[in-house]
Structures are given as C-alpha cells and as structure tokens.
Amino acid sequence: MRLLLVEDDRLLAEGLVRQLGKAGFSVDTTPSAREAVVLGEQEDYRAVVLDLGLPDGNGLDVLRKWRTNHVSCPVLILTARGDWQDKVNGLKAGADDYLAKPFQTEELIARLNALVRRSEGRIHTQVKAGRFELDENRQSLKMDDGVEHTLTGTEFRLLRCLMSRPGHVFSKEQLMEQLYNLNDSPSENVIEAYIRRLRKLVGSETISTRRGQGYIFNAIP
C-alpha cells in the first residue's frame, strides 16, 4: 500500500517511514505543503498522513485543495494534543481521521489500516479472495488447507494489491507504483521475480498473465 507522509519533523518522519514500511506500506515523504499538493494530485496513494503545521503553508489548505480537485484518498491529520479546533476544522475540510501528537506508532498504523479497509468496503483485517486469506496484521497468507505462510514485506504488498481486486488486470507500472516509493530504483524485472515466487505459493492458475497488459488474481473457489 502506497502512502504519503507530509511531515516537517525529519527525525519523526524517518522513524515513521521505518515503522510503516514494516507494516506493509511504501512511503513517500515531503516536509513541504506545496510539494504535498502536487504529489497528492499526481500519485496514486491509498492513504495520506498530513501534519497541519508545515513551514511553507497550512496542512488544512493542502487538504482543501485536494478535496477541491477531487483527490479522494483517505487522509489522517496530525494535530497538537488538546487542540480540538484543529480536529474540527480538519474533519470539516475533508479529513477522515485525526491523531494528536505525541502518539504511539502502533495506533497510527491501526488507524491507517482501518481507513484503507473502509475505503475498500471491508470491515475485517483479512483480505479474502477465492481459497486464500491474507492477514494484514500478521502479514501472512493462509491457504484453504489451513497452512499459513509468512510473507516478506514486498510479497505482502504485491499480493495484497492483487487480492484487493480479483479479476482486475494490474499493469506492471501500477504494481510498481504501489510497491515502491519515489526514491526507490527497482529493476524492470523485479515484478516478474516476485510473481514467480508468489505463484509457488498460490499456483500459476491463480495469478495469470494477460500478455501485453499485466497480471490478474483469479479468485478460484
């Protein structure tokens, strides 16, 4: 899941990137309100964490511009503890949730996962497709025979993307966008390599290739 973190505290941002990465997110970061506006409109994010106090602008103005320009991804705003007016203004501007500083990273991750679930129309932490069940908390894949396989971070992100929309054709470019942030420089063959690894788990008939278009997860009962 690709995420945008808008935060000008460098140490906080670096720590969050590490923890969010472990939780299955691929994170782009910026300390700038101006850059955040552009990234939010140009890139395909599953969620955004937006600090309101930025050096070159107000996070609420960023949020209002996104909503005006039909950027609909879930946004969680970071506010100062006890500042109820920021929370109210943020929700009125189009935020989906808020968290007061200082906070525990585990709570941030739980709230982000809940936002993504709601945006996808789910209520459970498991993504089910056909005979397979992907556990977001454990980052594992459960087979129909009850056997559970632990996944690497990249395997989890790739499989989650495919299983979130069974029968949908994902191009290689779309998958790369969800797996890696703007600072990564993966090789062109990395998607094929991970698809081969996942097919060993779920079977080649479950993840099929549409020549010239991309990959499909087939929810075979």
Q: Which residues have CB under 8 Å from 94's CB, separation 6+?
A: 63, 64, 66, 67, 75
State which fold the 2-120 domain adopts.
Rossmann fold (3.40.50)
Domain 126-217 has CATH 3.40.50.2000: no
Structure tokens at 146: 């009850």
Instruction: Specify the 3-state DSSP secondary structure of 56.
Output: coil
| Segments making up each domain of the chain, as ranges | 2-120, 126-217
Query: What's residue 81's pLDDT?
Result: 66
Number of H helices, E strands in the chain: 8, 13
Q: Does residue 48 carry a pLDDT above 80? A: yes
pLDDT in tens, 147-201: 999 998 889 989 988 998 899 999 988 888 878 877 777 777 888 999 999 999 9
Confidence of residue 75 (pLDDT cuts 50, 70, 90): very high
Q: What is the pTM of this model?
A: 0.79
* Longest CA span, the chain: 55
What is the DSSP secondary structure assignment for residue 151, as one 8-state letter?
-
Instruction: Specify the 3-state DSSP secondary structure of 161.
Output: helix
Q: Closest Cα to residue 100, out of 132, 129, 77, 128?
A: 77
Q: Where do runs of H (alpha helix) occur along 96-189?
A: 105-119, 153-164, 172-179
